[in-house]
Amino acid sequence: MKALALDPGKTTGYAIAHLTGGWLDLEVGEEAFSLDGMYQFIDVFIGDSRESTHVIYEDFSYRNAARGGLDLTPVKMIGIIELYKERYEPMVSFTKQSAATGKAFWSDDKLKAKLAHARGRKHGRDATRHLLQWFAFGAGSQFANVNELAIKLEVV
């Protein structure tokens, strides 16, 4: 099973997980993707995989207060993700989560306790929160109990 969690924005955080037995190999990073770069990143992740594949991503919330300099990059990135959703679902599962959902339970202290705290990767940590939220309380719980997983973290 493999999963990709995304925190889309000017700097997009990502957490890529491969579940093998009781181990979760976790690669965490962040990048200022162009729109084409985001498209290629997701394309490479999905590939022609025969294993169970999941994409978890943070939704954009417009808070009904127009302001100068409003950054809509997350909306563009989510549009790319949702193009993949239209093309690949149900072969690949897609789960959209609010920012609050992703950050509600997985504090920095809890990430550190699970050895999943990617120092220096703020957006990557947010993607990790979404991933672990999905494993702990969402559809990912059918694959493993997050409390019983040993995590091997690689920060890129």
Please write the tens of the pLDDT for every residue from 2-35.
999 999 999 999 999 999 888 999 999 999 999 9
Give the architecture-level CATH label for domain 2-57+72-155. 2-Layer Sandwich (3.30)
Return the closest-CA partner of residue 122 out of 18, 56, 28, 37. Answer: 28
Q: Give the count of beta carbons closer than 10 Å to the beta carbon of residue 16.
A: 20
Res. 121: pLDDT tops 90: yes
Domain ranges of the chain: 2-57+72-155
Q: What is the pTM of this model?
A: 0.92
